[in-house]
Structures are given as structure tokens and as C-alpha cells.
């Protein structure tokens, strides 16, 4: 999965970012990488916003989706990452070194 992801980065012309990507991935344990890679792109996006402390309502407004859709994705994230609270999602993202932005 990782090699395929790196190949995609090269294919889309973002090879200049490979050193940064490798640095981030190097700081994350294999187990964390496996769990995080199980998330869909939308789940990662919602997780990033969760890690910023956003509410479901705020996430829904930003992504132009219904709050119920956000709840659905949050539930999937918690299940896939084997977590029970939203705050744990933020901790996983911060500890893994994945940028969450502002």
C-alpha cells in the first residue's frame, strides 16, 4: 500500500514532496500507518478537522455535507482506529506527526 501511494505521488508530479512524506512516515509506527491507511480520503479529511477541534456541525458546514454524514464518518474513523472518543483521534494525528493545519 505504501509503495503504491509513493508511486502515485511520483505519477501526479509531486515527487518534490517525497522527502517530507518519508520523514513523516518514518516517525509513525507500522501499526499506526496500517490503521491510518485504512481510512478513506474523506475519513482522513474529517479526522484532520476533528484534530483541529471542530464540531460535527462545523465540519458539515465546511465540507458542504449533512451533520449526519459527518457523524457517520466519525463513527467509521473511531471504529477503524479502535478508539472510543473524538479527542483520541486528535491525539493519534498529533502523535503520528500528521499535519492537521488550522
Contact 34, 92 (CB under 8 A): no
86-96 vs 41-51: helix axis angle to the nearest 10? 100
CB atoms < 10 A from the CB of 28, how many?
17
Does the residue 42 lie in any domain?
yes
Tell me the per-residue pLDDT of 41-100, one tens digit each, with 9 for 90 and over.
999 999 999 988 999 999 999 999 999 999 999 999 999 988 899 888 888 877 776 656
Does the residue 62 lie in any domain?
yes
Does the residue 7 lie in any domain?
no
Split into its structural domains, the chain has a count of: 1
Residues contacting residue 2 through CB under 8 Å, at least 6 positions apart: 25, 33, 37
Does the residue 4 lie in any domain?
no
Does the residue 87 lie in any domain?
yes
CATH of the domain at 87: 1.10.10.10
The range of the structural domain enclosing residue 56 comes to 30-96
Does the residue 25 lie in any domain?
no
pTM above 0.75, yes or no: no
Amino acid at each position: 500500500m505504501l509503495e503504491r501511494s509513493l508511486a502515485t505521488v511520483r505519477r501526479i508530479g509531486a515527487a518534490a514532496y517525497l522527502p517530507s512524506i518519508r520523514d513523516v512516515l518514518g516517525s509513525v509506527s507500522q501499526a499506526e500507518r496500517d490503521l491510518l491507511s485504512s481510512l478513506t480520503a474523506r475519513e482522513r479529511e474529517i479526522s484532520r478537522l476533528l484534530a483541529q477541534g471542530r464540531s460535527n456541525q462545523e465540519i458539515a458546514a465546511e465540507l458542504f455535507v449533512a451533520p449526519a454524514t459527518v457523524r457517520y464518518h466519525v463513527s467509521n474513523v473511531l471504529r477503524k482506529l479502535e478508539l472510543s472518543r473524538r479527542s483520541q483521534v486528535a491525539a493519534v494525528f498529533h502523535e503520528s506527526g500528521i499535519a492537521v493545519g488550522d
